[in-house]
Amino acid sequence: MSWDSVLLNPWPSDANLPSAIDQLFSSQREDWETFRQGVDALSSIRAKTLTHDGTRVVVQANPGRCKSTHAKTDAESVATRKCFLCPDNMPPQERGIAFGELVILPNPYPILRRHCTIPDREHRPQQLAGHVGTMLELANKIGPDMLVFYNGPRCGASAPDHFHFQACDAGSIPLFAEPLLTDSSTQPFAHESFGRRMLVFTDANASAIQEKIERAVAVLKEITASDEEPMLNLTARYRDGRYLVVLFPRAAHRPACYFSQEPERLAISPATLEMSGVLVVAEPEHFDRVDAETARNIYLEVSLDPSQFSQLLSRLR
C-alpha cells in the first residue's frame, strides 16, 4: 500500500479537524474489525484510581498494549522488523487523514477511546528537532478535547525509526485535572506530583512557546550530557486561546521492576500517557501489585533527579 490508498480522499476541505477525526473513527469502526475490537476491549479492562497528596493516577490493565510495552527498541531489533508506520506494512483497512507531512491514523491498540498515531509520511528517525512548531499547530487544530504528545526514541516510542506524534482524549488524563499553573506568567514552571518532576509552559503565542521549549530541550541535553536527544516526553494542548505544554525530563526509560523476576516484576514501561497519570500495566496479573507507593517509586525513578531538575529550571528562568 502507498499513502494514496491510506489517505481518505477527497476530504471535505471545510471540515474542521475534530469532526474529521470523529468521522474517521466511526468509519474505521465499520470497516476495520481489529480496530473495533481494540476500542471495545477498553470497556472490559480493569482500572483503579490511586491517590497521593490529593493527586490521582489511574492504573489500567491493558493486555492490548503488550506489544508496545515490551517493544524492543534497540537498533538491531528495529532494523530487522517491518516498520508498522510505513504504509506498505499497514492492514488494508487502515485509513488516515493528512495533516501536512503527517497522517492521522486511529490506533487499533488504544489506551483511551480516541487515540491516534500520527506518523510522518517519510520513514525518518524519531527526533523532536524541527518538529515543535508542527506539534503546536496540530494541538491548535485538533482542539481542546484532545492533546498531542511525543515520546522520545529512548522514552517509550515503539517506532524510534519512524517519526510520529500521538493524540488522545484530554478529558481522561488525570494530570490535566491538576492546577498546573499558579499564575499567568509565561516563564516555565516546575510542577511536582506523585513523584513526577515536570516543566510546564504556557503562552498564547506559538512561536514564543516554541522557542522556550526548544531552549529547554537544548539545556536539558547539556545538563544530562546526552550525545543524542535528551530523554523526554512532551505533551501539548491548546485551550481558551493558550498553549499548555508539559515536558517530562527523564532519567530512565524503564524502572528496575520492569526487569525484575516474578513475582516482583511489573510490565510498566512509562511513556507520556503514563507520566500524565494513566499507568498502563500490560500483564493483567501484575495489576494488583501496583499501589500508590509503587507508582510513586516508579515515577521518582524515571524522572530527572532533583539536582539536575533544579539546574534546568534555574537556567531557564
With binding defined as CB under 5 A, does residue 85 bind Zn ion? yes
**304 — phi, psi (to 5°)?**
-55, 140
- Identify the residue whose cell numbers are 529547554: 216
Residue 165 β-bridge partners = 118
Distance CA 17, CA 104 (A): 10
Q: Shortest approach of Zn ion to residue 79 CB, angstroms? A: 12
- Identify the residue whose cell numbers are 523532536: 128
With binding defined as CB under 5 A, does residue 162 bind Zn ion? yes
Between 166 and 193, name the residue whose CB sits nearer to Zn ion: 166
Between 85 and 209, name the residue whose CB sits nearer to Zn ion: 85
Query: Residues 219, 232: contact at Cβ < 8 Å?
Result: no
Sheet of strand 97-99, all strands in order from the earlier edge strand to the far edge: 97-99, 102-106, 115-119, 164-169, 146-151, 232-239, 242-249, 196-203, 189-193
CA 54 → CA 174, 179, 216, 297, distances in Å? 11, 11, 29, 17
Between 162 and 286, name the residue whose CB sits nearer to Zn ion: 162
* Per-residue b or e along 270-284, where b marks 16 or more CB atoms closer than 10 Å to that residue's CB: bbbbbbbbbbbbbbe
Q: Shortest approach of Zn ion to residue 253 CB, angstroms? A: 21
With binding defined as CB under 5 A, does residue 58 bind Zn ion? no
Segment near Zn ion (CB under 5 A); pick from 76-84, 132-140, 191-199, 266-274? 76-84
Between 60 and 166, name the residue whose CB sits nearer to Zn ion: 166
Q: Shortest approach of Zn ion to residue 2 CB, angstroms? A: 13
Distance CA 96, CA 105 (A): 5
Segment near Zn ion (CB under 5 A); pick from 40-48, 71-79, 157-165, 254-262? 157-165
Between 88 and 240, name the residue whose CB sits nearer to Zn ion: 88
With binding defined as CB under 5 A, does residue 83 bind Zn ion? yes
**Residues 6 or more apart from 74 whose CB is under 8 A from it?**
none
With binding defined as CB under 5 A, does residue 123 bind Zn ion? yes
Q: Shortest approach of Zn ion to residue 174 CB, angstroms? A: 32
Q: Shortest approach of Zn ion to residue 84 CB, angstroms? A: 8
Between 154 and 162, name the residue whose CB sits nearer to Zn ion: 162
- Residues near Zn ion (CB under 5 A): 83, 85-86, 123, 162
